[in-house]
């Protein structure tokens, strides 16, 4: 067992007073963003995606904030995330979509967790769990309309031995529903190119989805919810909304399509702020390189500060000499390489002192950098920036909802 696997030890590892850095989450921003997203799709229902510890924002408080903001259900990838929500007392509908063969689905069925099915084995295992527990298993069928990832294939397969055909999955679901062990609550699919509005695959996938839904309904299924849209489609292709949208990133206030519009352009408020206290301040002579490999040096004397966050905490090493920060109010950059636990910033002649705050990113409202700027600096997407911040950094919840929910 890892050290952090022991709850008592984990508490100490993330103790705010022993750790001069923090991830601050504005729960009101999450609730606000859910409302904004629903407006984009004419008030349609919204499933808030809270996988990956709510994109690094903290699973349970974020889920509660999204529900308070008007989400009707929650979506997660792993079954363990769904169970964690139930254990925390969340009773709202929860869908998990990454179960794997060999997993015991009975505990999920017993806890009224909806399990997405892409394959016959999932439906068979759900039916078996329902028979064993004397309940009805609830599923949502996942159809591959062109992403080429999971989902039963609505497009012709070269061989039915390798992959599941949508017709076959629907036929099995109809049989198990008739037996009374299965309820097909929904049908859903996922876009390949939602972040490129107008891409021909967006329209093609919508058409394929419409056919797949029609086929299932002709076969006798009566899904309550049919949904396709992630954040990008919710914001840029509202015509793809069926009964519900399924956004993740935008719930946390980040734009999935930074080239089309910023978070502010869409009325979204970034919920995560990452900051640390300056641990060391030192004046270094001209020409002194800093951090491993001395990849940064200046030809004049300057003041350097050491920031106690590194790549083990989620600061991308790819942002060496590039990641933007705000130190005591001024914009600066990471100087030299990001190390495991710390990085250095050249602050010139600014009168920075130990304990001053360094903001890596936040909402941008106080001129601090945003997660999108870090993504640009590290050559990645904002999804990866926020999900990287791991459990070692204490989470701190703010906003009027924080007292009630966190
Ligand atoms: C992650 C995920 C989403 C949410 O995607 P965003 O781009 O973060 O909005 C929706 N549906 C599925 C199946 C996902 O895996």
* Residue pLDDT, tens place only, 67-122: 999 999 999 999 999 999 999 999 999 999 999 988 999 999 999 999 999 999 99
Does ligand 1 have an atom closer than 6 angstroms to the CB of 399? no
| Ligand 1 mutation target, pool 190, 205, 233, 272, most atoms within 8 A of CB | 190
Same domain, 340 and 295: yes
Domain that holds residue 57: 27-252
Strand partners, 269: none
Same domain, 149 and 284: no
Distance 233 CA to ligand 1 centre (A): 10
Render pLDDT for 146-205 as a digit per residue (tens, 0 to 9). Answer: 999 999 999 988 887 888 999 999 999 999 999 999 999 999 999 999 999 889 999 999
- Residue 125 makes CB contacts below 8 A (sequence gap 6+) with 99, 103, 105
**Coil, helix or strand for 281?**
strand
Same domain, 237 and 280: no
User: Tell me, what's the pLDDT at 84?
Assistant: 98
Does ligand 1 have an atom closer than 6 angstroms to the CB of 248? yes
334: domain CATH number is 2.40.37.10
C-alpha 19/C-alpha 392 separation (Å) is: 9
Same domain, 34 and 180: yes
Q: Which residues are catalytic?
A: 51, 292
Rounded to whole angstroms, the maximal C-alpha distance in the chain is 79
Distance 237 CA to ligand 1 centre (A): 15
Does ligand 1 have an atom closer than 6 angstroms to the CB of 249? yes
| Ligand 1 mutation target, pool 75, 116, 140, most atoms within 8 A of CB | 75
Return the ligand 1 atom nearest residue 51 CA.
1
User: Tell me, what's the pLDDT at 284?
Assistant: 97
With respect to residue 213, please indicate whether it lies within any of the assigned structural domains: yes
User: Tell me, what's the pLDDT at 337?
Assistant: 98
Q: Which of 46, 55, 59, 60 is nearest to 89 (CA)?
A: 60
Same domain, 181 and 320: no
C-alpha 145/C-alpha 372 separation (Å) is: 30
For 365, other C-beta atoms within 10 Å of its C-beta total 10
Same domain, 144 and 227: yes
Same domain, 247 and 277: no
Nearest Cα residue to atom 1 of ligand 1: 248
Helix spans in 105-230 (H):
106-110, 120-133, 166-179, 200-218
Strands 137-144 and 152-153: parallel
Same domain, 168 and 215: yes
- Kindly give the parts of the chain with pLDDT less than 50: 1-3
The DSSP element (H or E) to which 403 belongs, if any, is helix 400-405
Same domain, 301 and 221: no
| Ligand 1 mutation target, pool 40, 41, 49, most atoms within 8 A of CB | 49
User: Tell me, what's the pLDDT at 1?
Assistant: 38
Distance 370 CA to ligand 1 centre (A): 21
Number of domains observed in the structure of the chain: 2
Same domain, 39 and 74: yes
116: domain CATH number is 3.20.20.10
Does ligand 1 have an atom closer than 6 angstroms to the CB of 49? yes
User: Tell me, what's the pLDDT at 403?
Assistant: 83
User: Tell me, what's the pLDDT at 2?
Assistant: 47
Same domain, 194 and 124: yes
């Amino acid at each position: 067992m890892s050290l952090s696997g022991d709850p008592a030890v984990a508490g100490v590892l993330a103790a705010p007073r022993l750790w001069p850095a923090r991830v601050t989450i504005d729960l009101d921003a999450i609730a606000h963003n859910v409302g904004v997203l629903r407006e984009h799709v004419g008030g349609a229902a919204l499933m808030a995606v809270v996988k990956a510890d709510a994109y690094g924002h903290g699973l349970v408080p974020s889920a509660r904030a999204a529900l308070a903001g008007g989400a009707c259900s929650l979506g997660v990838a792993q079954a363990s995330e769904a169970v964690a929500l139930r254990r925390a007392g969340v009773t709202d509908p929860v869908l998990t979509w990454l179960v794997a063969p060999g997993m015991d689905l009975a505990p999920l069925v017993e806890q009224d967790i909806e399990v997405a099915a892409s394959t016959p084995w999932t439906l068979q295992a759900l039916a078996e769990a329902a028979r064993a527990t004397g309940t009805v298993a609830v599923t949502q069928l996942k159809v591959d309309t062109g992403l080429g990832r999971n989902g039963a294939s609505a497009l012709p397969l070269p061989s039915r031995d390798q992959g599941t055909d949508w017709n076959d999955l629907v036929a099995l679901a109809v049989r198990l529903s008739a037996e009374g062990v299965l309820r097909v609550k929904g049908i859903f699919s996922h876009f390949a190119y939602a972040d490129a509005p107008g891409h021909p695959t967006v329209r093609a996938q919508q058409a394929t989805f419409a056919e797949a839904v029609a086929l299932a309904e002709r076969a006798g299924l009566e899904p309550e919810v049919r949904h396709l849209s992630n954040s990008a489609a919710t914001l840029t292709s509202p015509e793809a909304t069926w009964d519900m949208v399924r956004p993740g990133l935008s719930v946390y206030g980040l734009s999935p399509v930074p080239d089309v519009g910023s978070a502010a352009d869409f009325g979204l408020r970034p919920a995560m702020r990452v900051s640390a206290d300056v641990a060391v301040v030192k004046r270094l002579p001209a020409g002194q390189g800093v951090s491993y490999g001395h990849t940064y040096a200046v030809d004049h004397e300057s003041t350097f500060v050491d920031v106690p966050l590194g790549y083990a905490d989620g600061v991308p090493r790819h942002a060496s000499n590039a990641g933007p920060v705000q130190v005591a109010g001024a914009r600066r950059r990471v100087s030299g390489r990001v190390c495991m636990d710390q990085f250095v910033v050249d602050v010139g002649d600014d009168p920075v002192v130990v304990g001053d705050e360094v903001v890596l990113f936040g909402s941008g409202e106080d001129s601090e950098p945003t997660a999108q700027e870090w993504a640009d600096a590290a050559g990645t997407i904002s999804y990866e920036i926020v999900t990287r911040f791991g459990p070692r950094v204490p989470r701190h919840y703010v906003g009027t909802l924080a007292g009630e929910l966190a």
